Structure 1
């Protein structure tokens, strides 16, 4: 793990240190904890030397470094696998247009089973007419035969 040295006085030195940490992540797949320790150390050193937090460009790159696992996740099932996933602008647009299921985490359990209440399909009027034609006579005959024997 690369710790930010005390000589980081400029924004460019901080950016260079973050770039080195990105390279280390790509080579060795460093853990999130080590990246967070690096970010904490860099921000604390910067604050100790300048008495203010680093500029937003440095903080943005640090956030990208920490969230590198989620940002680099290219699987299309990240919305199913992660509770709070990061979406691309296109995925967000699909979500808001309704092209993607919005209640997947609520209805599908961790075991993969869908626990939504089942709903039955409604028959169309033509299907109802067909059932009446096919089965209506049989029901009428059954009713007549059962009612005439009971009287």
Structure 2
């Protein structure tokens, strides 16, 4: 293929982004519910980009979106016990934030008893902080 013919086949980042958006829309619409079909579509799209852009990689944010699309089942699984029932669990950003909010630090577990009493060793610094808090 000559260079003049190849220019017409160039796939810009904007076009690639629109095609990724189209894949997401088709996936949400149920057309790409099967993982194998979805993976084949993603591979075809990336191969087209490589061929049209002389082997250059697509931008990282678009590759990240395609990776999320590859792992759609894992990323959309909202089951609260996902981390213990899956062999290789993957958390979305939202799921990770929710988990961090409910976790308790190890220090807290060492200092607070089952009865709820604070068993932290009283120190001069701790008492001074409590005096400052109580005077406000």
- Coarse TM-score class (shorter-chain normalised): 0.5 to 0.7
1:90 alignment counterpart: 97
Question: Larger C-alpha radius of gyration, 1 or 2?
Answer: 1
Tell me which residue corresponds to 1:64. Answer: 68
Counterpart-to-counterpart distance in 2, 1:53 and 1:39:
14
CA RMSD of aligned residues (A): 2.4
In 2, Cα distance between the equivalents of 1:43 and 1:83?
29
CA contact (8 A) 2:10 2:53 kept: no
Aligned length: 93
1:78 and 1:85 in contact (8 A); partners too: yes
Aligned runs of 1:14-53 on 2, under 5 Å?
14-28=16-30, 30-51=33-54, 52-53=56-57
Corresponding position of 2:11: 9
**TM-score, length basis structure 2:** 0.59
1:81-135, Cα deviation, whole Å (9 max, x unpaired): 211111232355356846xxxxxxxxxxxxxxxxxxxxxxxxxxxxxxxxxxxxx
Aligned pairs (5 A) from 1:110-125:
none
Answer yes or no: is the 8 Å Cα contact 2:42–2:66 preserved in 1.
yes
Task: Give, in whole Å, the separation in 2 of the partners of 1:75 and 1:7.
Answer: 44
CA-to-partner distance for each residue in 1:3-35, whole Å, 9 max, x for gaps? Answer: xxx956111111111111111111115211111
Query: Partner residue of 1:108?
Result: none
Structure 1 unaligned residues grouped into runs of 5+: 1-5, 99-151
